[in-house]
């Protein structure tokens, strides 16, 4: 029985559908349609009938499998029956190509002779004019278009106002904020890339229209300057500008009453050519103008404050593209705890002095009332 089934499957795979049906005939008589083996035999029979083009017999075989107890085989038979009984769709004529009969075609030899005779009668075409000679002219129009595109690219890339704010929150601590504003009012691709690259940094990122704000928490001066250096390097890489790493140094000395700070900033912007609309600045607060030891090539100017404004004094130092920018600061950051301790010590010294003067005048020590 198994040999007969394997021989029937081999005949079906070889395309010998008649032999497959002859091999399946004795097996079908022995196994009814309700059994699983009988249902598998009838599915093979339906496949062989389809191969011979007898779709009606194949559909009838599939309908007979409704009595099978196996649900999977019934489902296969039903799906095959739906395919066999589906109406045939009419294909448009333009979807197919019809080849003419060989007997209706004109011999190729006659066509070649007719074309040869027709070519002899036709006059030869006139030869093309000779190529122009002389000095060639430069493509002025193309050069103008390229120049305009380069100018627009430079303008769009440089239309940004970048302001870095250094805020001294406490002795030995520094807070860094950066604000970049697009003069077009729309976010630049450089701003989007910078915001994505700084997602894992301590910066708090806020972007609205053409303004991108980065704000870091108050950090020790060394860590804050290292964070500022990393952000400058990242911005230069995104702008495809090969800038030397910025030199940011901070030296502090604690004298209990306050901290003596000395900060040196050095930004080499010589590889960055000046572009229209590109404004770079550094804002430092709170800071007095007397704290600036050196600022070049542009001076650090006090930030104007309105009358009655309680904002702390600040300095604005504009950077010069295409030049080496240096800034040296030296200032005191007084400690409230140290100043308070000094005030208490002075008051104790004053009280002790007054007590000595009282004793020297003969008043004696102060007593409680009787």
Q: Can you give the pLDDT at residue 145?
A: 36
Look at residue 369 in the predicted model and tell me its pLDDT: 63
User: What CA–CA distance (Å, rounded) separates 370 from 361?
Assistant: 23
Structure tokens at 165: 């704010």
**Residues of each domain in the chain carrying CATH 1.25.40:** 2-84
pLDDT at site 126: 66
What digits encode the pLDDT tens for the residues 183-239? Answer: 777 777 777 887 888 888 888 888 887 888 888 888 887 787 788 777 777 777 776
Q: Three-state secondary structure along 354-369?
A: HHHHHHHCCCCCCCCC
Rounded to whole angstroms, the Cα distance separating 58 from 40 reads 14
Query: For strand 300-302 and strand 315-318, is the pairing parallel, antiparallel, or unpaired?
Result: antiparallel
Written as one string, the DSSP assignment of 287-322 is --GGGEEEEESS-EEEPP--TT--PPP-EEEE--TT
DSSP string, 149-184: HHHHHHHHHH-EEEEEEEEEEETTEEEEEEEEEETT
Residue 81 and residue 57 in contact, taking contact as beta carbons nearer than 8 Å: no
Fold of 2-84: 1.25.40
CA distances from 89 to 86, 92, 319 (A): 9, 9, 76
Q: Point out the residues of the chain with pLDDT beneath 70.
A: 1-2, 88-159, 171, 239, 306-309, 364-370
Strand 211-215 to strand 204-208: parallel, antiparallel, or no bridges (unpaired)? antiparallel
Cβ–Cβ < 8 Å for 265, 282: yes
Provide the pLDDT for residue 325.
92
């Amino acid at each position: 029985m198994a040999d007969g089934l394997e021989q029937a499957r081999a005949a079906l795979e070889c395309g010998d559908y008649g032999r497959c049906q002859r091999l399946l005939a004795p097996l079908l008589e022995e196994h009814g349609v309700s059994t699983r083996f009988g249902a598998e035999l009838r599915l093979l029979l339906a496949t062989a009938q389809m191969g011979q083009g007898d779709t009606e017999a194949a559909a009838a075989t599939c309908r007979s499998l409704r009595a099978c107890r196996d649900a999977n085989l019934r489902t296969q038979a039903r799906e095959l029956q739906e395919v066999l009984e589906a109406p045939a769709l009419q294909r448009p004529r333009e979807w197919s190509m019809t080849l003419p009969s060989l007997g209706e075609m004109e011999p190729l030899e006659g066509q070649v002779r007719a074309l040869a005779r027709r070519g002899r009668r036709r006059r030869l075409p006139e030869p093309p004019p000779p190529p122009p000679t002389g000095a060639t002219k430069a493509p002025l129009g193309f050069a103008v278009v390229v120049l305009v595109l380069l100018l627009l690219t430079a303008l769009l890339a440089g239309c940004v106002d970048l302001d870095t704010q250094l805020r001294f929150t406490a002795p030995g601590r520094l807070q860094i904020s950066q604000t970049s504003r697009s003069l077009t009012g729309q976010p630049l691709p450089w701003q989007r890339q910078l915001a994505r690259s700084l997602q894992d940094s301590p910066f708090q990122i806020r972007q609205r229209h053409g303004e991108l704000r980065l704000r870091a928490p108050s950090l020790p001066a060394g860590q804050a300057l290292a964070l500022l250096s990393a952000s400058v390097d990242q911005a230069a890489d995104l702008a495809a500008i090969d800038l030397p790493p910025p030199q940011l140094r901070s030296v502090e000395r604690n004298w209990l009453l306050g901290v003596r700070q000395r900060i040196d900033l050095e930004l080499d912007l010589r590889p960055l050519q000046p572009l229209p609309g590109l404004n770079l600045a550094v804002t430092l607060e709170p800071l007095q103008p007397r704290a600036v030891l050196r600022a070049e090539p542009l001076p650090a100017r006090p930030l104007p404050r309105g009358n009655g404004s309680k904002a702390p004094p600040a300095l604005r130092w504009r950077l010069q593209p295409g030049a080496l920018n240096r800034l040296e600061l030296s200032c005191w950051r007084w400690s409230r705890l140290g100043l308070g301790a000094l005030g208490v010590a002075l008051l104790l010294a004053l009280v002790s002095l007054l007590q000595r003067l009282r004793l020297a005048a003969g008043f004696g020590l102060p007593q409680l009332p009787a």
